[in-house]
Chain A
Amino acid sequence: GAGVSQTPSNKVTEKGKYVELRCDPISGHTALYWYRQSLGQGPEFLIYFQGTGAADDSGLPNDRFFAVRPEGSVSTLKIQRTERGDSAVYLCASSSNRGPSETQYFGPGTRLLVL
């Protein structure tokens, strides 16, 4: 079966612009996560969806960041008024969430560069 897919694979934008990053989770996975990885760091949690609702958005750095998952499958991470510090790899992961010990499977990431 297909893994987690993310589009675009690379995105270059100018400071102040708006960007959308898309994630297609593994089919049937109810839990979806967004992480951000900066150079030399491990992935940092941004937001977690259980179905259509954001169960935990404590990792979103500020109100310029927003994510949706309207039908409980595909998710879009939206960044308004981008800043150079937003440049990073944005990773999406999904899990089946059938118990307390769930393995998250990651997509290849979207590399965002804000000029």
Chain B
Amino acid sequence: DQQVKQNSPSLSVQEGRISILNCDYTNSMFDYFLWYKKYPAEGPTFLISISSIKDKNEDGRFTVFLNKSAKHLSLHIVPSQPGDSAVYFCAASAGLGGTYKYIFGTGTRLKVLA
């Protein structure tokens, strides 16, 4: 049972345009959500996070939106740059119970075309 889903395995965007990556989840106990970026042969790098008490968090070119009623979050990258080309993973955790393990989606490969 995939609790965190990224239904688009890949996305291509022109440099300077907006990239929108989507993520859906099924577990209503999730209260913390994150996006990680991963380059080949490297570990995931933390990008941005959002708590369930918020519906938006912004950091420079990156904005994460959370829609709890739809159990959906998205990552917006504006403007997209060639260096943003990587695999992006959505992750979620349920902080209750004292274990903060992350549940990851399967990733979306973003290619930003120069």
Enumerate chain A interface residues (CB-CB to B < 8 A): 4, 31, 33, 35, 40-45, 48, 50, 55-56, 59, 91, 95, 97, 100-109
**From residue A14, how far is it (CB to closest CB) to chain B in Å?**
23
B contacts with A, residue count (CB < 8 A): 26
Q: How far is the CA of A105 from the CA of B101 in the complex (A)?
A: 12
B80-114: CB near A (< 8 Å → 1, else 0) gives: 00000000010100010011111111110000000
Enumerate the 3 nearest inter-chain pairs by beta-carbon distance, A residue then B residue, closest first: A42-B104, A106-B43, A100-B95
Contact among A40, A59, A97 with B101 in the assembled complex (CB-CB below 8 Å): A59
Residue of B36, B95, B99, B105 with most partner-chain A CB within 10 A:
B99
Q: How far is the CA of A45 from the CA of B43 in the complex (A)?
A: 14
Q: How far is the CA of A40 from the CA of B108 in the complex (A)?
A: 10
Closest to A33 in B: B101
A-B contact pairs, 10 of them (CB 8 A): A31-B100, A41-B107, A42-B106, A48-B101, A55-B98, A55-B99, A56-B101, A91-B43, A100-B100, A108-B43
**From residue B23, how far is it (CB to closest CB) to chain A in Å?**
11
Beyond A100-B31, A100-B32, A105-B46, 9 additional contacts (C-beta under 8 Å) are A33-B102, A55-B99, A56-B99, A91-B44, A101-B32, A104-B100, A106-B36, A106-B44, A107-B43
B44 adjacent to A44 (CB under 8 Å): no
A43 adjacent to B32 (CB under 8 Å): no
Contact among A44, A101, A105, A108 with B104 in the assembled complex (CB-CB below 8 Å): A44
